[in-house]
Structure 1
Amino acid sequence: MHENKYLAIYHDLASRIRDGEWKAYDKLPSENELAVRYKTSRETIRKALNLLSEHGYIQKMKGKGSIVLDVGRYAFPVSGLVSFKELAQTMKQPVRTIVHELELIKPDAELKQQLRATSKDDVWKVVRVREIDGERIILDKDFFLKKNVPLLTKEICEDSIYEYLETKLHLPISFAKKEMSVDEATEEDRRYLDLNGDDRVVVVRNYVYLNDATLFQYTESRHRLDKFRFVDFARRK
């Protein structure tokens, strides 16, 4: 198995919840029952359930077990640090990633500020369009410092950059700061997206950090206005 056991169990349970095997307010099987089902320890099951709780799939209630939450409204958590490939696995529509640009560049003044880069740094620029159900609705512009990401290929960018960074380069991606705004559509937006006459797009700007607080990625994710829906799950600590 290419991922930790508890992560595999988490993904399987999350998929079953999304597919409706357990409805909102149903109770999941007990830790003992799940341990038998997945042939593992209760501790591993507990870690998977904790992850389900953190991502808004269940509410753990003392003495009552794990209650399934209404996950339909949490299908697209903008505030999460989730790759498009991971998101696509939760969707029923056909999806495709189209790589339009992949090159090493020298950062201009704006990019230096966004990435805390210097004139000596090389930066990977990746421009990708996300097509969902035959419509081009998201334009992702990613910038990675080469000193953290020595190599990128078109094949990696078409599949999942994050999967490559974490499984091949073992980069400890930790957290992101995000800004959202509604901006005027650019010529680039009109060229790459099916805007259907809209002259504005939703822009989500991401600043992504490693676990030592090193900023290594800046992203602009530009969404067609009528297809964008902000949904979040919040849990009071």
Structure 2
Amino acid sequence: MPRQKFMEIYAVLKTRVESGAYPVGQMLPSENTLIQEFDCSRNTVRRAISELVRDGYVQTHQGLGVCSIFQPIEQSSYTMGTIESFRETALRTGQHSGTKVVSFSRCTADQAISRQTGFAEGTQLFSLCRLHDLDGVPIILNLSYLRVDCMPGLTAEIAGGSLYRYLEEELGMTIVTSKRTLTVEMATEQDSRWIDLAPYNCVAVVTNQVYNSQGVLFEYTQSRHHPRIFRFQDNAVRRPSAKTPVGV
């Protein structure tokens, strides 16, 4: 499935903002300039800009244009508002990443797995454990269940690369949304086996249920992070209430 035009424009402008081509405080090119550059409609440009606004890269000023408000984030920070693979995060933060497949097998969702993941009992799943490192240091243990009928050709070799690249570029899947929960938990024996946690005895856990454009839950992943490098960064927007009490 070809990528939508507005997402291509979004990706180009996002890269320019992140690289400093449009530094913080600078106005982006006008709508007319972008329309001419990308050979597209005004609505397509506006949709791309709205995505940049939503993700905290730019801000619109009525009558003036669009201004870059991007400030580089810390290394090892993960963004809350987007679905991003480990490899994409490493590229964005300028680090070298590696992935080791610890285990890869097939299973059937029983009652316990169904309760944990949200998959219906009887669903055929891949059970996948991967260890991620940054600059050679293991920092994340990923425990995943993946729906077999959404990726029947998945292998351990593919899983050791970029899973989302495989799903999007080779299978044509559109990944849409993720339900995400953040917790702090005591480290398990498995955590301590693969990640050097000393002097910590806990891990930061990000649990994701990821859905595609068909509304199908295709992935459940529990990412168990070393607490020393764990940071999540979000861009929050205050929405005015219908009526603000006097004196507030």
TM-score, L = length of structure 2: 0.84
1:225 is paired with a residue whose SS is coil
Other-structure match for 2:78: 76
For residues 51 and 160 of structure 1, what CA distance do their matches in structure 2 show? 24
1:187 shift after superposition: 1.4
Q: Work out the CA distance in 1 between the residues paired with 2:121 and 2:43.
A: 49
User: Closer, same or farther in 2 for the Cα pair 1:211/1:38, shift >3 Å?
Assistant: closer
Verify the 8 A CA contact 2:110 2:122 in the aligned structure 1.
Answer: no
Q: Is the 8 A contact 2:195 2:226 kept in 1?
A: yes
Shift in alpha-carbon separation, 1:209–1:39, aligned structure 2, 3 A: closer
Q: Is the 1:56–1:71 contact (alpha carbons within 8 Å) kept by the matching residues of 2?
A: no
Of structures 1 and 2, the larger Rg is shown by 2
What value does the CA root-mean-square deviation take over the aligned residues?
2.4
* Counterpart for residue 200 of structure 1: 202
What secondary structure sits across from 2:78 in the alignment?
coil
Q: Which deviates the most, 16-25 or 166-175? A: 166-175
**Residues 45-194 of structure 1 aligned to structure 2 (within 5 Å):** 45-73=45-73, 76-194=78-196
What is the number of equivalent residue pairs in this alignment? 236
1:144 CA displacement:
1.2
Q: Give how far 1:96 is off.
A: 1.5
Deviations 1:49-87 (A, max 9, x none): 222112111011221111111332486213432222332
SS in 2 for 1:48: helix
Asked if structure 2 preserves the Cα contact closer than 8 Å seen for 1:79 and 1:178, the reply is no
**Given the two structures, how large is their TM-score scaled by the length of structure 1?**
0.87
- Unaligned 5+ residue runs, structure 2? 240-248
Identical residues among aligned pairs (%): 33
* Alpha-carbon distance in structure 2 between the residues aligned to 1:172 and 1:212: 8
Contact 2:111 2:121 survives alignment (8 Å): no
The alpha-carbon deviation at position 40 of structure 1 amounts to: 4.6
